[in-house]
Chain A
Amino acid sequence: MSQPLIEMKNVSFQYEYTQVLKNISLKVEEGDFLAILGPNGSGKSTLLKILLGLLKPMSGEVKLFGQSNETFAHREWIGYVSQKSNAFNSGFPATVEEVVKSGLTKKIGLFKRMPKDAKILAKEALASVGMEDFSSRNIGQLSGGQQQRVFIARALISNPKILILDEPTVGIDHENVQSFYDMLAKLNEEQNKTIILVTHDVDTVSNRISHVACLNQTIHFHGFKEEFESISQTELENWYGHAVRKIH
């Protein structure tokens, strides 16, 4: 079996006196479409920050593509889509194309100009999220769901191997959530992108995912979606401390 793309072993983290993550062990294999479910305050954002190298775990080990997180030199292999609602200024005067092209910034490197083919790459990235007709619109004129797709295109333009999405369905109308997941599943199947998404909303997680991990300080469950579906309601409530519904 090939090595996992992401491997966390016994990772713990605490802010001052509050334990946020306890003994997290998690493996993500190439081609997985994983949803990490956790209520507010379950440590989701902290987990993501550790994966992205923004926070150092207090103990434990994180490996990305087999390399230690601290020395990992290929951040561009990981495309990150932050939670839309608080991340950007919606009145920002930029076109969709400009926003998508900015996803190349890190890959191009400091002191270098945008390459000529950035326009073509932006077009391709927009096409794979179904937004190719919007490239000359100002980003502020789009709906929440459309903006989210543009941000995914911004992550895709540098051709990452893993896509990490933080609460991707916040701000998307309920009826558009399904087509949003279809789009992600297509990226997962056709472009072989490994996808990790983090959400508090069990209801919005679709049947298009392959794996589920239940997080509340620690990982209570990690396995195939089918196994997740066989978990009893009481057990879920035990983990999360309140009633949750299953995936439809």
Chain B
Amino acid sequence: MIEALLNYEFLQNAFFSGLIIGIIAPLLGVFIVVRRMSLIADALSHVTLAGIAGSLYISQTFSAFALLNPIYLGIVASVSGSILIERLRRLYKHYEELAIPIIMSGGIGLSAIFVSLASGFNTDLMSYLFGSVSAVSRQDLWVIIAIAIVVFIFLFLFFKEMFVLSFDEEYANASGLPAKWIHFIFMIVVALVIAASMRIVGILLVSSLITLPVACSMRIAKGFKQTILFSILFGEAAVIIGLVSAYYLNLAPGGTIVVTSIIILLIVIVAKKIVLKAMQKGEQVQ
């Protein structure tokens, strides 16, 4: 594969995009999971699909847009979705989770309409649903790099505020932090990361790369920084193993990455149980 990686641009695109997403998705994922917002990531990915389906429809219908990269409309849809979710959450204060099915079904509904308007899609849509090793363009890679830079700047500027906000929202408000604004920017950054990740793992599996590495990490990490570090390591492991096996077995990388993540999760859970039991036994002997 290393030789192929040196020779083929499409493989480089996929591999580097994967490595970047393997960092940024779990990195933001830690905040998403501890704030109990995992399902929001799912809803946003379905909205992104509406943007992508819309874009594919536009390029099929209007020849002037034939070369339009669907990632742009995907980003627009995802960001608008995150803003809408926030509005709905404020509207239904006591039923915040209602925003999720509303936005999610809205996203799928719109996608279905665009797909039927274009009277069905080619293999392109499949690659957006489940990811693809061959479909990542150089342009996609640049967009993903730009989004990664946005994520790093955001966390560089707001890391300590995000920690307070995630740990204890009431305290964040009481100590006079601009919690609302930071949360708003966070939601937009999440929307960007979801749009970036869909090229590799596909819309339907984006949230897995955000949540599964964090789920693994939380079993064993001590403290917040360690949770982030382990999440990124698990994310990268899943992406690398997933992409390599997708390439050799000719499978959709979304599938291989997610299945790898789940296998890692199972190993972590079982290993922790065994270690705990061994420790208990050790104590009893003493």
Contact = CB atoms under 8 A, between A and B. Distances in A.
Interface residues of A, number: 30
Given A108-B160, A110-B157, A93 B177 contact: no
B176 A88 contact: no
Interface of B: 34, 36, 157-161, 163-164, 166-168, 170-171, 173-178, 217-218, 221-227
Nearest to A48: B174
A93 B36 contact: no
Contacts of B218: 91, 93
A128 to B, nearest CB: 19
Contacts of B160: 102, 104-105, 108, 113-114
A82 B170 contact: yes
Contacts of B223: 93-95, 97-98, 136, 138
B222 A80 contact: no
Interface in A7-58: 52-54
Q: Is the interface of B mostly helix, strand, loop or mixed?
A: helix
Contacts, number: 78
A114 B163 CA distance: 12
10 contacts: A80-B175, A92-B34, A92-B167, A98-B163, A104-B160, A105-B177, A106-B176, A110-B157, A136-B223, A154-B171
Nearest 10 pairs of A and B residues by beta carbon: A95-B223, A94-B224, A93-B227, A88-B168, A75-B176, A106-B175, A80-B174, A105-B160, A102-B164, A105-B164
Nearest to B175: A106
B170 A87 contact: yes
A54 B166 contact: no
B84 to A, nearest CB: 25
A89 interface: yes
A171 to B, nearest CB: 15
B224 A105 contact: no
B224 A93 contact: yes
A53 B175 CA distance: 9
Contact of A54 (B158, B174, B224): B174
Nearest to A101: B160
Interface in A49-93: 52-54, 75-76, 80, 82, 87-89, 91-93
B131 to A, nearest CB: 29
B174 A98 contact: no
